[in-house]
Amino acid sequence: MDYLEFWKLRQAPFEMNSDPSFFFESRAHGEALARLLYLVADQGMGMGMLTGEIGAGKTITLSVLKNRLRRDLYQVSYIRTASLRFSDLLQEINLQLREDPVPNGPPDVGGGTDTYRLLKEFESLLDRRLRPMGRHFVLILDEAQLLDPKCLEEVKCLTNLNQDGRRCLTIILAGQPELRENLRLMPQIYQRLGIVFHLLNLSRDELAPYVTHRLSVAGSPRQDVFEDACLDELYVFSGGCPRQINRVCKLAVDRACLLQKTVVDANMVRMIIADIRKYFG
């Protein structure tokens, strides 16, 4: 039997994706979202930074932020940066800003480097597509710890467009803790950050509501799928990291289905955790 049918679910509850409908507003995640919304609404801070450990929930928080911004007031460009050059970032930003997102190349501005022409196109797109409609541009760069210092410096320079009374754009840098350390070595950027927030994992008392929330969003008619006794095991292993919680819970509900058990117990969770540790260390 398919485990969704067994548990009477509409969709899988513990997938490792960033579906904003599964966002759980813990104390830390709620504060992160509130600070980012304030940063964007202010429009004059220029830059902000969100950091967190791997799997803490940065990306889903950013997805919720994007969904909550009014489209008549904001244009959002969300880029998972990898290790892109600044010219690559500009190319992607311009593609997202064009009404017809076809890479025809930047307009002729009388020669110059590709980066220069792409930058001129970006300024032109802001002037033609956003300012006349009173919309503010929000650039979200995820995994920004992978950007080299030269690229970060060039990204920072985009905020110079906010001068002369113009509030054109807000940049959000998001990434793992090393992003903060990278920027501490670049005071010309660190001192421009209007908001800085480090996203913590879930606390122990938030674990049960988190699991119940994900099951509920997925359509579960029950709140007692997991025995209370197994939550301590789950928290010790995960440290409250949402991705690790999802990892164990996904395997647990699938295994319970195979065994035709209607409740996930502590022994089952212990076996799954032991198996993960055996093969993944």
- Among 149, 172, 199, residue at a domain's last position: 199
Q: Is residue 16 part of a domain?
A: no
CA atoms within 13 A on the CB side of 216: 10
178-194 pLDDT per residue, tens: 999 999 999 999 999 99
Among 21-25, 107-111, 253-257, 275-279, name the one with the lowest average pLDDT. 107-111
Look at residue 249 in the predicted model and tell me its pLDDT.
97
Quote the domain boundaries for residue 146.
27-199
Q: Is residue 244 part of a domain?
A: yes
Asked if 223 and 190 touch (Cβ cutoff 8 Å), the reply is no
Distance CA 258, CA 1 (A): 8
Distance CA 167, CA 143 (A): 25
**Cα Rg of the chain, angstroms:** 22
Do residues 229 and 158 share a domain?
no
Distance CA 234, CA 103 (A): 48
Residue 49, helix vs strand vs coil? strand
Distance CA 107, CA 115 (A): 12
Do residues 142 and 213 share a domain?
no
Do residues 85 and 174 share a domain?
yes
Q: Is residue 19 part of a domain?
A: no
Do residues 119 and 237 share a domain?
no
Angle at CA 35, nearest 5°, toward 60 and 94? 60
Q: Is the pLDDT of residue 274 over 80?
A: yes
Do residues 195 and 208 share a domain?
no
- Among 150, 182, 199, residue at a domain's last position: 199
Q: Which two tokens stand for residue 271?
A: 């076996």
Look at residue 112 in the predicted model and tell me its pLDDT.
43
Do residues 63 and 172 share a domain?
yes
Asked if 54 and 195 touch (Cβ cutoff 8 Å), the reply is no
Asked if 124 and 107 touch (Cβ cutoff 8 Å), the reply is yes
Q: Which of 227, 202, 248 is nearest to 60 (CA)?
A: 202
**Helix (H) or strand (E) run with residue 197 in it:** strand 193-199
Q: Which amino acid is at 140?
A: I
Distance CA 145, CA 192 (A): 17
Q: Is residue 22 part of a domain?
A: no
Asked if 109 and 117 touch (Cβ cutoff 8 Å), the reply is yes
Do residues 182 and 234 share a domain?
no
13-44 pLDDT per residue, tens: 999 889 999 999 999 999 999 999 999 999 99
Do residues 160 and 111 share a domain?
yes
85-113 pLDDT per residue, tens: 999 999 999 999 986 655 555 444 444 45
Q: Is residue 17 part of a domain?
A: no
**Number of domains present in the structure of the chain:** 2
Do residues 78 and 159 share a domain?
yes
Asked if 189 and 152 touch (Cβ cutoff 8 Å), the reply is yes
Asked if 102 and 163 touch (Cβ cutoff 8 Å), the reply is no
Block residue for tokens 């904003």: 20
- Among 164, 180, 199, residue at a domain's last position: 199
Do residues 113 and 227 share a domain?
no
Do residues 128 and 209 share a domain?
no
Q: pTM of this prediction?
A: 0.92
Q: Indicate which CATH number applies to the domain containing 210.
A: 1.10.8
Do residues 189 and 215 share a domain?
no
Backbone angles phi and psi of 172, in degrees to 5: -115, 120
